[in-house]
Copies of this chain bind each other. A is one copy, B any other.
Amino acid sequence: MGLISMAEADRVKKAGPRSTGRPTIRDVSQLAGVSRMTVSRAISDPELVLPATREKVAKAIAALGYVPDRTAGSLSSRKTGFIALMLPTLTNANFAAVAHGLTEALRDANFHLLIAYTEYDMVEEERQLRNLLARRPEAIVMTGATHSPAASKLLLAADVPIIEIADLPSRPIGHVIGFSNHEVGRTAARYLIDKGHTRIGAIGGTVEGEVRDHRGEERMRGFEDELRLAGLSADAVLRYGEAPLSYDHGAAAIGRLLEKSPDCQAVFAVSDLSAVGAMMQCQRMGVSIPDQLSLIGFGDFEIGRIVNPPLTTIHVDFNELGRRTGATLLALLGEDGNARPGRVDVGLSVVERESVRKA
């Protein structure tokens, strides 16, 4: 017969000069005696293929050790299966938890997370974003509300869903799933005031120069605003050191603060890590918590539950935040691709433990 079937044609076809040598879908189709399309369907849409055919294909795949090339698939289908996630740093349990939760949520949908760290640096953020965009992510998750104009422009031009998390920006670019950092500060201040304190301080990052951790700074501002509202002095609010803030920061900062304002009765730390560092430093200085000094933190890190006394803190459900983000992503990438941008406030709560004097 003069007709040459597709399978026949493929059987003749050799791998081209630029091939890698790894088995391709063509090799599978030849071995199984079906067309490439059938192999493709057997993999990604099995119910479209007859069980018997499916079986043949499965055998060929196993025999060859074939692993599909998603690079090629992405190019053709214009679906990369990538979600870009931009974080200040991974070296922070809460951000790591977000990444973790997101990965979890996206795992079954066969998405991959592309993570970039900005190190609290806006120039770096733009560079990273450009690199990320080259991978054609199907959605972008950004942490923190403040971006450079250039970054915002890139984001807009990307023409994919954008989710801003861990903040409640006033002029959001896309979807928002977060909480108010300003409100965190205010809540901390109100709590300390309610417990009867009047000489109240705070420790957070950035002395002078550019602000790196805008979310932390927002918490400081909220704290100051609430103090002023209550007619209290914000003199003992100390900005010191640069993000990322950790234990050492708290230890150093509390020393400076108590030197400057020895009569301080209560302190808010913009991060639990700082708070724990401060607590340990107080132990060393013989300052008793909460008898001589009340301490409240933010983030509800695991370590805060463990120290003595257990740390009172402001809790935000980062797990929930990660899960909500994952669910939103899945919805956005599924049917309602252009649902109008939503705004979710996951809220916050005070976790009362024993590092604050009882009223």
Which residues of A are interface residues toward B (Cβ below 8 A)? 18, 20-22, 65, 67-72, 74-75, 78, 80, 89-91, 93, 96-97, 99-100, 103, 110, 112-117, 130-131, 133-136, 153-154, 157, 159, 246-248, 251, 276-277, 280, 283-284, 302-303, 305-308
Contact of A71 among B115, B135, B307 (CB under 8 A): B135
Q: List 29 A-B contacts (CB under 8 A).
A: A20-B78, A65-B153, A67-B130, A67-B134, A67-B154, A68-B134, A69-B75, A70-B134, A70-B135, A71-B71, A71-B136, A75-B75, A90-B99, A91-B93, A91-B96, A96-B96, A103-B117, A112-B114, A112-B135, A115-B115, A246-B302, A247-B302, A247-B303, A248-B302, A251-B306, A280-B308, A283-B308, A303-B303, A307-B307
Query: Residue of B at shortest CB range from A112?
Result: B114
A306-B75 in contact given A110-B131, A157-B65 (Cβ < 8 Å): no
Query: Residue of B at shortest CB range from A92?
Result: B96
The number of times this chain is found in the oligomer is: 2
* A281 CB, min distance to chain B CBs, angstroms: 8
A116 to B112 Cα, complex, angstroms: 9
A90 to B322 Cα, complex, angstroms: 14
CB-CB under 8 A from A96, the residues of chain B are 90-91, 96
CB-CB under 8 A from A20, the residues of chain B are 78
A233 to B334 Cα, complex, angstroms: 60
A67-B133 in contact given A18-B78, A248-B302, A306-B247 (Cβ < 8 Å): yes
